[in-house]
Each structure stands twice: as C-alpha cells, then as structure tokens.
Structure 1
Amino acid sequence: MTTDYFLTRKLSGLGESPISPTSPTNPQALRSNPLAAKVTSVLSASYADSDVRDALGLLDKRGVENNAETRRQLRLDVQKEVIESNGDIIREFGRVAEQLKRIGLTIASLNEGCEEMKKHIQSAHQETAPVLQEASELMKQKNQVESKQQLLKAFNTHFVMSDNDIASLTSTAEPVDDKFFSVLARAKKIQNDCEILLGTENQRLGLEIMEQTSKNLNGAFQKLYRWIQREFKTLNLENPQISSSIRRALRVLAERPSLFQSCLDFFAEAREHVLSDAFYTALTGTSVTGEEDRSVKPIELVAHDTLRYVGDMLAWTHSATVSEREALEVLFISEGDEIAKGIQAGRENEPWNRIAEDEEGASSFDGLKALNELVDRDVAGVARVLRQRIGQVIQTHEETIMAYRIANLLNFYRVTFSKLLGDDSVLLDSLTNLEESALKQFRALMRDHVAGLQADTQVSPADLGPPDFLQDGLKQLTAIMKTYETSFTSIDTREKDFQPILAEAFDPFMKASGSISEDFETPESEIFAINCLLAARNILAPFDFTTGRVTKIQENIEDHATRLIEHQYSFFRNNSALQPLIQALAPLSDSREDLKSIRNMETFQPDTLTQASQTLDDFLPSALMDAMENLKHLQSSKLAREITEEAAERFCDDFEQVEEKLIAADEIWEQEQEQSEGTTAEGVSLRELFPRTSGEIRVLLS
C-alpha cells in the first residue's frame, strides 16, 4: 500500500499517466529532467532496506493519508516530533542530572563516612590487635592444655591405679579372685612400663610411680602368700579336683622365689605331719590322738610274718608317695613350665637372690627335680618311722634267709623309689641304709652259721658224697638265689652284685669241703671234690647271674677229672703188666739199632714177656669193670664213664705203640736170620710171646 501511495502521488504531480517502473525510458529525457532523474533514483532504490521498511511501517501506523497537506506537514510534523522528543530527553536528562548530583552528594557523603569508618576501623584495629593476639595465644594455650589433659588422662588410666584396685590388691578383706589377678597383672605391667619413664630426662615421676607400684605389688604378694598358706591348711590332696585358683596362685607366687620357697616349706611341713599321722594310723589302727579308726586294718596286727610286715610298711609308703606325687604334679607342673618361668622372672626381679644363687652354683629351675624334692620332704616323717621300725626288725631277727629276703625287698623298693624320686632323697637314703644294715645282719648270721659248722667239717662221709653242711648251705643258697632273681638289679651288674652274696653264703662251704678232701687219698679226694662241685654246679646253673661262677666250677671239675683220668690210666698200665714194657721202650727211637736192641732187653726176654702176656690176658676181661669200680662213688655216672673211656683210650694208644715196636723188632730179626748161613731159626719172635693186638684190646675195653 505504501508503494502505491508514492507512485500515485508522483504521477499525479507530474500530470502523467502511470508508467511501469520497468518501461523503457529515454535516457536523454532523464538527463534533461531533474524530476525524472529523481523519480528514477527513487524507483531504482531498493525498498528492501530495513530503515526504509521501518519508516514505511511507521507511516502506516500513524495513519497518514497521502495528500498535499499531509505531504507538506509531514516534514514539519516529523521535525516537531523530533524537537519535542529531544526536549523530553533533555528534561529527562536534567532530572537525571539532578539525581546524579544528589547521588554524587550521597556518594561524597558516603565516602566521607567510609573515610570516617576507615579511620575508626584503623583505630579499632590498632586497639584490638593486642587483644586478638592475646586471644590467639590463649587459644593455643587452650589447645595445649586440652592435649595435656588428654595425655594426663591416658597417663592416669595406664599408670595410676584406683583406690578400689589398690584395695582389691592389698586388702586381706578382699578375696583372691579373678579381679585380684587382673589387677596384679596390670600392676606388673605398670612396673615394667615405668622403665620407659626412667629413660626420660625427668626420672622423678617414674621413680615415684615405680615406688608406689612396687609397694602395692609387695602387699599383693604378701596377701597371696598368706592366702595360699590358709588354703594349704584345708587342702585335700586326695581330691582329684584340686582348686584351679591354688594352682594359679602358686604360678603367680613363683615370681617371688623367697615367698614361694617359704610357702613350699610350710606346705612340706604340714604334709609331713599329715602323712606321719596317717602312717601311724595305718600301723596301729588308731590316730595320734588315740581315736580308733575301724576302716583301717592295722599292719602290726594283720602282718604276722616278718617279711609281710616289712613289705606292708614299704607298700604303704610307696602308695602314699605315688599319691602325693600325682597330687603335687597337678599343683606344680600340670600346666607346663609356668612356675619355672615365674621363678626365672622372680630371679630377675630380685638380683640379690640371683647373686646368692650364682655364688652357690644354682642352675635354672628344674620342675621335676623340685617336685621330687617336695615329695621327698613330705614323706620324710614316714621315712623316719620306717627306718626305726624296719631297723628294729632287722636287729631282732636271727634267721639268715629272712635277713636276706628283707634286704632284697628293701633293694626292690630302693630301685622303685629311685625311679620315682631320683637318686637324691631322704627316703632313698633311709632305704639304702636299711638295705646295708640287712645285708650286714645277713653276713653276720652267715658267719655265725659257718662258724657253728666248723665241727662238722671234720667228718668224712663214707660214700664220698657232699657233706650235710654243704647240702644245707646249698639249700639255703637256693632260697637266696630265688629271692635275688626277683630283684630289680640291672642285668649288666646283676652277676657282679651277687658276688658278695656268694662270698658269704657259698665260698665258706666250698672251702670247708676242700679241707675235707685233703684228708682223702687219690682218687677218693678227687671223687669227693667232684661230687661237691657237681652239687654246687647243679644248684647254680639254673640262674643267669651265676654264669661266671658256674664256669669256674666246671673248670675245677675238669681239673679233678683230669687227675682221675691219670689215675685210671695208671690203673690200666700197672694192672695189665704193660707199664714195664712202656718204660723200657720209652727211651728208644725208631732207628734200626734201637729196634734191634729190644730183644736183648731183660723186659723182653721170653719168660718175662710170656708172663706179661699172661698177666694182660688175665686183666683184660674184667679191666673195664674194675676201672669203673674205682669210680663207683662218683655221683655222675656219665662223668665216670667218660673218665674211664679217656684213660682206656690212652692205654690203647700206648699198647699200639708197644705193638708197633715189637713188630718192627721182629722184622729186623727175621731179616738177619735170612741173611745168616744157617737155615734153622734161633729163638722165637716177640709177637709169638706177646700175641695180643691193639684191635683186640680196643674191643675188650670198649
């Protein structure tokens, strides 16, 4: 619509019909007509410009009509509006200037106020700076105090014990319970931790705390010591359920070796009285106070036999010792080496005791050894009564075998107690002394017995058998050896330990028998000696601890048997008339000259040799029986036969040598006869005069 308005106005002003903007125009006309040029420039202008488009849009809004009046007034109206708008702007800016002036005044006033405030602030800052600095220092001090308070609280919690804890630790009115041991453990930890405080520059605090803690610990251990003593008075060791609190208290008290040892001494003394009273009750059936105990069979009334009386007392002692040891094992070493650790710790805490122990050569604590020593001290009273009773039995008894049986029984229990209590104990020493006393009594009785038999040793038995006193002695020795066989003597020293018994109970009888054999002539003395030795060997052989002595006896038997063989051999040679022949041929060798000289000897002359042959023939049929008759009193027929056979064998060997010499001599004689000029032989051969052969002799003597 705006475009149409401008076109209509221009064309109407020119008085021309409207033309198209695109219709061709005459360029010359345009140049000559300024209006046309102006129109052309207007028409050629682009209405797409934003300013033009905005202007046209503004005209449309104002509702301007396209007429001459409007066109004349438009510029003026526009300028008027511009002037009015400028005036409005100026008025507004004036008001703005007024406002800005007031703002400037306000700002200036504010600046003055700010300067004033700044001055006040600077003045206040100068005045409050020391206060702030002091407050900062106070805050730092406050933080330090709080840190110290926390440190003090932690220190008090760790190092300072409360009054209740101290009362529980040292007051005898408080029980010894878990709280006591807990507080005690804390006190010991405080004492150990005080070493850290002693490492600082200021040691006063550590020394004061350690002094107080040590005082509390000493009071606690004294309280524990007295409590254990009270408990020991009523403690029943026969009860398998022994209080665990006592075991715990003993392990803790071990940290004070002096108190622990005093407690053990008190306990050992109390147990010694208890066991001594119990042993007296077991012996008599009544208590020390005279009250009868019907549940007990008195040993003195029940054991009528002496050996049983001694055995019952030793058996009771062994039973009591085993029970005591088992009970004390529960108390002292049932839970490892806690007591040993406690005593070691106590030695470290008590250097004066450690120095004394080092001077005495004390080693580390041995729980088993300490247990053995305590048990031995507990039964020391029983050992004294036992030594007195058994000593009386030994001194008043006059039977040899019984004395040895008592000694062997004591040996058995001595070995048993050595395994139970070790080698160093009062009870073991008592048993050793009693055993020696019993053996001494045995030796004295044996010597008296041997002395009483001196008159009987001169009587020579007719059958050459062992005399009665030897048989009695061997019977007694058998009983002794059976008793010794049941002893606990070590296998390695078993035979050696029995040699003193043989010296007392065997050698005197054998020596007396040897004295009797000296009164006999050979072969009776050898037969008697062999009979005595055989009886002794048969008694000793079944026992393994007499092997050496049996070997010596066998050697003696063989020596005597050798002499009997020699006697039998002489019997064969002399009674067979072979002895002269053997003696005559003994110096000769096997040379031709010596063999040739045999026929010239007087022993080998025909008459003499014929007589010897006749004597031999008369002897041989009964020779073996006559020889056995010589040994008829020998109690071992086997040995007699062996002796006779050995002698006969030697006789046959000698006869064989004589036979060989005679044959050799006859051969030389025959050779000489053949070489002589005569044809008739002079004399007879020696074999014709002495025809027996060695084979015949062996057959007759076999």
Structure 2
Amino acid sequence: MSVENKGICNADMPVHDTGTGNVLSRRLNKILETRIENDKETLEALKELSTFFTENTLQARRNLRSKIEKRSLVINEDFLSAFRDVKEVLDAIYSDVSEMNNSVQKMISRLQATKTQTHHLIDQTTKLQAESQTLSLQKEVAGAFLRSFQLSPAEQAVLRGSSRECAITDEFFTVLDRVQSIHSNGRMLMQSGHQTAALEIMEQMALYQEAALERLYRWTQSRCRNIESPETSILLSMAMSRLQGRPVLFRYVLDEYRTSRRSVLVTAFIDALTQGGPGGTPKPIEMHGHDPKRYVGDMLAWLHQAIPSEKDNLLILLKGCDKTDVSDQILQTLSHITEGVCHPLKVRVERMLAVDTDATVLYSVTNLVCFYKQVIGQVVPGSQLLTTLEELQELSQHTFLLALQSQVRQQLSECVETPPSDLSPSPGVSQLLNLLRDVLSVGCIAEGRQQDLPQIVSIIVEPLLQAINESATRLPTSDMAVYLLNCLYQMQSTLSLYEFVDELLERLQAQSDAQLDTLTSEQASSLVANLNLGSIYTILQEQGKGALSSVPGMEPTGLKNFLSKLDAFLVMQDVLLLPQICLLLSGTHRSIVQHRAFEVIAAIYRQLYEAVHDPENLYQNPGVLMPRSPDQVLKLLIG
C-alpha cells in the first residue's frame, strides 16, 4: 500500500483528542521510518497480498479484511481436509501396529515356551561343542606328536628303498638323521614321565636305524671302490660318517676299500712299468732298466706321486668322520694299500743291484732310496712300504760299499808302483781321488746322509794312504818327503771341499807337517854342508873355555871362507836349494821348507855373530869381519 493511500486512510479516520493523536503520530512515524526492503516477512506478506488485492479502491480496501478472513478460512479448511487424510492413515497404521504388537506378543510367548523346552538341549549342545574343541586340540597334539616321534610313510619308503641295492640319495641321510633325532628325543620323553611311549618309540626307531644302516652298509660296500665321482664321493663320505657309530660295519667297509685300492694301485704300478701312460706317454719305466739311477728314480717318483693321491682319496672318504677316532685306521688302511707294491718294487731294485754297477751310480741309487724313504715315510709312517724302502736302502748301501771297495782295490795296484820321476802323485792316486770326487759329487739330497761321508772317505783314503806310504819307502828321504807331500796336498785339496771330514783333514795335515819337518831338515843339512857351516856349528856347540879365535877352523881366515859363500848365497838363494824342492806341487810347502831351512842358517849365523862379537873370544875388528847383523841376514834370506 503506498503512502498516498495511507494518507487517504488517515483522512477518513475520525480525529481523536490530542493524546490519541500523539499515539497515532508516533505509530505513523514508526511506520514511516521502517525500511520495508529490509523486512523480509513484510515483503513476503505484500507479495502474497498482491495476488488477490489487485485494485486499490476504497471498496476494495473495505473488503480487504473479509477477503483475508475468507482466504484464511479456505486455507484452514484445506489444512483440515489434509489432516483428516493423515489421521485416517495414522489410524490405519495404528491398527497395523496394534496387530503387529499382538503378533509379537504371541511370538514372544511362543519363544519363551520354546526356550523353556530347548534349555536342556542347549546345555547338551554347549557340552558337545566344548568336547569337540577338546578333541580337536587333542587331535592336533596327537598329530604333532606323531610328526615329531614317528616317520611318515614317505620317509619310511625312503629309508627302506625298493631293494637293498637301491641308490642312496641325500634324502636317505636326512631321514636317517631324523630317526637318530627321534631316538634321542625319546630319552627326553622318558625323563618327562612317558616311559612306556618313549620305550616303544625308541625301540621302533632302533629297528628303523638298524635296517637303514644295514642297507647303507651294503650300498657303501659295493661302491667304496670308486670315489672319483664328486657326487659319489660326497655320498660315500656321508655314509662313512654314519657307519662310524657301528665299528664292525665301519671296519668291514674299510677292509673292502683297502683291498680294492690295493689291487688298483698294484695294477697301475705294473702298467706304469710295462705299458706306460695313456697313449704311451710317459714311456714304460722298464725301458730305462739299463740306467739304474733313472730306473729306480722313476719307480720311486711314481709311488711318491700315487701314494698322496691315495691318501687324499681316503681323507675324502672319511672327511665326515671324527679324525681322532679314525687316525689309526687311516694309517693302517694306507699301509695295507701300499703294501701291494712292495714286492714288485723290491724284486726290481734287488735285480738291478745284483748287476755289476759303478760305485758312483750305486751311491746315487742309495741316495734316491733314502730320500724317497723319508718323503714317503711322512705320508705312510710305520707302513710295510717304509720297511721295504729301509731294507732296500740298507741293501743298496751295502752293495755300494762293496762295489766301492772293489773299485778301490783295482786301482790301488797303480798306486804302489814306483812314483814318477817328477815325484808327482801317481795316476792311481789321481784316479782314486777322482773316484772320491765323483762319489761325493752325487750330493746327499736326503737328510742325515752326511754321516756316510766319513765312511766313504775312509774306504778310499785309508787304503790310498797305505799304498802311498808303501810306494814312497822305495825313494830316498828327500824324494819320499816330496812325493808324500804332493800326494797329501792333492788329497787335502780334494777333501777340503766337503764337510764332516775335518778329523781326516787334521790327520793329513799332521802327516804333511811331519814330511815338511823331514824335508826342512834335509834342506837345512844341505845348506850347512854347502856353506861349510858343519864344523863351525859343531865347534859352537862344543865350545869350552878359552878364546874361540884360537880354535882351529874358527880363526878369522877360516871364517872368511864361510862368509864369502854366505854372501854369494844371499845373492842367489835358489842355487843351493835341493832340486826336490822345485818338485813340490804346493807353493805353500815350498815356501815353508825354504823359510824353515833359512831360519836354521840364520840361527847359526846369529850364534856365530854373537860369538865373534864376544870380547872373550879375542876377535880383532869383529865388525869388519861380520858386518851384517843377524836380523839383516834373516831379512835377506826370508824377505
């Protein structure tokens, strides 16, 4: 309604008193001040009013109230009609709910009756369910017990096999270990109070175990002859480790193994001797029968190569066993395996030693046997093969010594002949020393062989010394000394290259010193005679009381003869040396003899010099008679 219409309405309204006018004025002002656009309810009312109040006339305004009331009455009648339908629906729902309630009550009554009737059945069902759970638990426990203390059918089949000779696999050993584990667990079960069950389980497992070990024994016995296949070797090692707990079966298998391997080793050794390697390479050892050293060396080298292989195979076979328990059996088995080659080896070596062979070659064979005895003895100590090698070593050593003695006797005949004119060692001496050098040059490759050197040297040197001395007795003293010195020098030069002959070298040196003394004495006597010192030396030694110058032969004129010869000798010393001295092979020997002889002359000269310069001997001008002092003479002689 517009303001204009509101003014019209106010003009038609009767005018009241002033107080009423104020009230109307305030209300009118309030309406005027109202912001209709912010009053949503008023706006909605006006929108609704505009739907049926379409003409703003006086008559329309007067009928507005009645229209509103009529519209309100129509709306209320519409609500009443609508709520009547709702009531009818609710009444129908109430009726249905009442019927449902009656049905529910009936069902409750029936259920209550049924519950009362089935209470006993429910109790029985509950008990049966509890018993079922208990039985299920017992079933699981029983199943676990059977799995822990019994073998499954599949495991029993693996353990039994289709036959005794059926192949053994890794699964067999797994089942066998399980049997042993169950047997051990049975003892724990017995300690927990289940003696009856434990005894039955242990008895059953023992039967399984015995049957399995019997089958394993048969299988191992049939296959222990070949451990070259890696898979087979592993299975055999596992089998031997299981059989170790049965000493009798374990020993039987080892007996079978050692018998088989002994035959294989002997066959291989004979093949190597007669046929050689595959395709003829290497050649048969018998082809070198003409060469004793190579023949024996090849045989022993073949054994040295084959025996460690046998030991390795045996260790592979027993690698799963307790080594502390089988160490003796390992040695016994190796000893038995290698025992088969003892006879063919011994026969061939003895046959070779029976042939007349050079001593040097025999000593080489002896060294080879000794060396391989030590090497093989480390692999198979205490074996029959080691005993055979020791016997062969003793035989070859004895044969060598006999051959050496025979060879020495043959060559000694040349040593007792008359020595050469140059007094050098006879050809026989050189030959025997060359023999000694050849024998010792073989070399002691084995430990402990150095102890043979003194014996070998003694066999050659002792007869040689005796022969040299016998031959030298035919010579004059000087020649004999020179010849012996030359022979001894050659012997010392040869022996000085070797150890463990110090005692013999000392003996030879003592003999050399004795001959040097003899030769020095001869040389000194010759010098004394050539220098006319004999009578002078005798007088000096027998000097009594009185002046020496008055003794015949000691007068100054007699001394001048000696001094003049001495001066000539000092200038040319070699003139008065014995010719034998030049025949000495050793320059050291020549020097020693000369020095010692010259020292004798110098000593006599010193004694004469002191006597001449002694005032009691009444020599006139002794300094002119003997101008050289003894030290000067000694220096001129020896240098």
Query: Normalising to structure 1: TM-score of the pair?
Result: 0.64
**Residue number in structure 2 paired with 1:410:** 369
Judged with a 3 Å threshold, the aligned counterparts in structure 2 of structure 1 residues 494 and 308 are, in CA distance, closer, same or farther, namely closer
Shift of 1:191: 2.0
Shift of 1:559: 4.3
**Residue number in structure 2 paired with 1:578:** 533
Task: Choose from 615, 618, 635 the match for 1:665.
Answer: 615
**Residue number in structure 1 paired with 2:213:** 221
**Residue number in structure 2 paired with 1:35:** none
Aligned equivalents of 1:241, 1:529: Cα separation in 2: 76
Judged with a 3 Å threshold, the aligned counterparts in structure 2 of structure 1 residues 430 and 627 are, in CA distance, closer, same or farther, namely same
Task: Choose from 482, 500, 506 the match for 2:455.
Answer: 500
Whether the 8 Å CA contact 1:313–1:386 is kept in 2: the answer is: yes
Shift of 1:581: 3.4
Task: Choose from 325, 333, 352 the match for 1:365.
Answer: 325
Judged with a 3 Å threshold, the aligned counterparts in structure 2 of structure 1 residues 586 and 272 are, in CA distance, closer, same or farther, namely same
Task: Choose from 561, 570, 580 the match for 1:630.
Answer: 580
Secondary structure of the corresponding residue to residue 366 of structure 2: helix
Judged with a 3 Å threshold, the aligned counterparts in structure 2 of structure 1 residues 669 and 173 are, in CA distance, closer, same or farther, namely closer
**Residue number in structure 1 paired with 2:478:** 523
1:299 aligned onto 2:257 = no
Whether the 8 Å CA contact 1:279–1:382 is kept in 2: the answer is: yes
Aligned equivalents of 2:482, 2:548: Cα separation in 1: 40
**Residue number in structure 2 paired with 1:567:** 522
Shift of 1:549: 4.5
**Residue number in structure 1 paired with 2:168:** 176
Judged with a 3 Å threshold, the aligned counterparts in structure 2 of structure 1 residues 231 and 598 are, in CA distance, closer, same or farther, namely same
Q: Letter of the aligned partner of 1:224 in structure 2?
A: L
* Aligned positions of 1:227-242 closer than 5 A: 227-233=219-225, 235=226, 237=228
* Aligned positions of 1:27-42 closer than 5 A: none
1:440 aligned onto 2:398 = yes
Aligned equivalents of 2:158, 2:231: Cα separation in 1: 27
Aligned equivalents of 2:424, 2:170: Cα separation in 1: 85
**Residue number in structure 2 paired with 1:482:** 441
Task: Choose from 273, 280, 296 the match for 1:283.
Answer: 273
Aligned equivalents of 1:446, 1:411: Cα separation in 2: 18
* Aligned positions of 1:316-465 closer than 5 A: 316-333=302-319, 338-340=320-322, 364-365=324-325, 374-419=333-378, 421-453=379-411, 455-463=413-421, 464-465=423-424
1:699 aligned onto 2:630 = no
Shift of 1:245: 2.3
Secondary structure of the corresponding residue to residue 325 of structure 2: coil
Shift of 1:501: 2.1
Whether the 8 Å CA contact 1:167–1:174 is kept in 2: the answer is: no
Measured against aligned partners, the alpha-carbon deviations of 1:323-352 in whole angstroms (never above 9, x if no partner) come to: 33444444444xxxx322xx6xxxxxxxxx
Judged with a 3 Å threshold, the aligned counterparts in structure 2 of structure 1 residues 692 and 293 are, in CA distance, closer, same or farther, namely closer
Aligned equivalents of 2:600, 2:200: Cα separation in 1: 109
Whether the 8 Å CA contact 1:170–1:219 is kept in 2: the answer is: yes
Measured against aligned partners, the alpha-carbon deviations of 1:56-104 in whole angstroms (never above 9, x if no partner) come to: xxxxxxxxxxxxxxxxxxxxxxxxxxxxxxxxxxxxxxxxxxxxxxxxx
Judged with a 3 Å threshold, the aligned counterparts in structure 2 of structure 1 residues 242 and 412 are, in CA distance, closer, same or farther, namely farther
Between 1:199-208 and 1:217-226, the stretch displaced more is: 199-208
**Residue number in structure 1 paired with 2:191:** 199
Q: Letter of the aligned partner of 1:643 in structure 2?
A: V
Aligned equivalents of 1:608, 1:245: Cα separation in 2: 113
Q: Which runs of 5+ in 1 are unaligned?
A: 1-116, 344-363, 589-593, 671-683
Secondary structure of the corresponding residue to residue 494 of structure 2: helix
**Residue number in structure 1 paired with 2:602:** 652
1:308 aligned onto 2:267 = no
Aligned equivalents of 2:281, 2:622: Cα separation in 1: 102
Aligned equivalents of 2:395, 2:348: Cα separation in 1: 13
Shift of 1:659: 0.8
Shift of 1:181: 0.8
**Residue number in structure 2 paired with 1:248:** 238
Aligned equivalents of 2:553, 2:247: Cα separation in 1: 104
State, as a whole percentage, how many aligned pairs show the same letter. Answer: 24
Judged with a 3 Å threshold, the aligned counterparts in structure 2 of structure 1 residues 550 and 277 are, in CA distance, closer, same or farther, namely same
Judged with a 3 Å threshold, the aligned counterparts in structure 2 of structure 1 residues 220 and 630 are, in CA distance, closer, same or farther, namely same
Q: Which runs of 5+ in 2 are unaligned?
A: 1-112
Shift of 1:178: 1.9
Aligned equivalents of 1:520, 1:606: Cα separation in 2: 41
Aligned equivalents of 2:160, 2:367: Cα separation in 1: 56
Judged with a 3 Å threshold, the aligned counterparts in structure 2 of structure 1 residues 546 and 202 are, in CA distance, closer, same or farther, namely same
**Residue number in structure 2 paired with 1:677:** none
Q: Letter of the aligned partner of 2:145 in structure 1?
A: F
Shift of 1:586: 4.9
Judged with a 3 Å threshold, the aligned counterparts in structure 2 of structure 1 residues 331 and 179 are, in CA distance, closer, same or farther, namely same
Whether the 8 Å CA contact 2:411–2:431 is kept in 1: the answer is: no
1:186 aligned onto 2:200 = no
RMSD: 4.1
Shift of 1:229: 2.1
Whether the 8 Å CA contact 1:401–1:480 is kept in 2: the answer is: yes
Shift of 1:443: 1.0
Q: Letter of the aligned partner of 2:199 in structure 1?
A: L
Query: Normalising to structure 2: TM-score of the pair?
Result: 0.70
Judged with a 3 Å threshold, the aligned counterparts in structure 2 of structure 1 residues 143 and 499 are, in CA distance, closer, same or farther, namely farther
Judged with a 3 Å threshold, the aligned counterparts in structure 2 of structure 1 residues 521 and 687 are, in CA distance, closer, same or farther, namely farther
Shift of 1:641: 2.8
**Residue number in structure 1 paired with 2:97:** none
Shift of 1:273: 0.8
Judged with a 3 Å threshold, the aligned counterparts in structure 2 of structure 1 residues 526 and 265 are, in CA distance, closer, same or farther, namely farther
Judged with a 3 Å threshold, the aligned counterparts in structure 2 of structure 1 residues 445 and 140 are, in CA distance, closer, same or farther, namely same
Shift of 1:612: 4.5
Aligned equivalents of 2:459, 2:436: Cα separation in 1: 10
Q: Letter of the aligned partner of 2:387 in structure 1?
A: D
Whether the 8 Å CA contact 2:482–2:584 is kept in 1: the answer is: yes
Judged with a 3 Å threshold, the aligned counterparts in structure 2 of structure 1 residues 168 and 685 are, in CA distance, closer, same or farther, namely same
Aligned equivalents of 2:511, 2:241: Cα separation in 1: 67
Measured against aligned partners, the alpha-carbon deviations of 1:135-181 in whole angstroms (never above 9, x if no partner) come to: 99999998877665554433322222244433422442643112201
Shift of 1:184: 0.6
Whether the 8 Å CA contact 1:517–1:528 is kept in 2: the answer is: yes
Judged with a 3 Å threshold, the aligned counterparts in structure 2 of structure 1 residues 144 and 507 are, in CA distance, closer, same or farther, namely farther
Aligned equivalents of 1:146, 1:519: Cα separation in 2: 124
Q: Letter of the aligned partner of 1:626 in structure 2?
A: L
**Residue number in structure 1 paired with 2:425:** 466
Between 1:516-525 and 1:425-434, the stretch displaced more is: 516-525
Q: Letter of the aligned partner of 2:238 in structure 1?
A: R
Q: Letter of the aligned partner of 1:440 in structure 2?
A: H
Measured against aligned partners, the alpha-carbon deviations of 1:380-432 in whole angstroms (never above 9, x if no partner) come to: 2223211111111112234322221211222232233234x154333222222
Judged with a 3 Å threshold, the aligned counterparts in structure 2 of structure 1 residues 244 and 391 are, in CA distance, closer, same or farther, namely same
Task: Count residues in correspondence.
Answer: 522
**Residue number in structure 1 paired with 2:200:** 208
Q: Letter of the aligned partner of 2:365 in structure 1?
A: I
**Residue number in structure 1 paired with 2:253:** 263
* Aligned positions of 1:144-163 closer than 5 A: 149-163=139-153
Shift of 1:230: 1.9
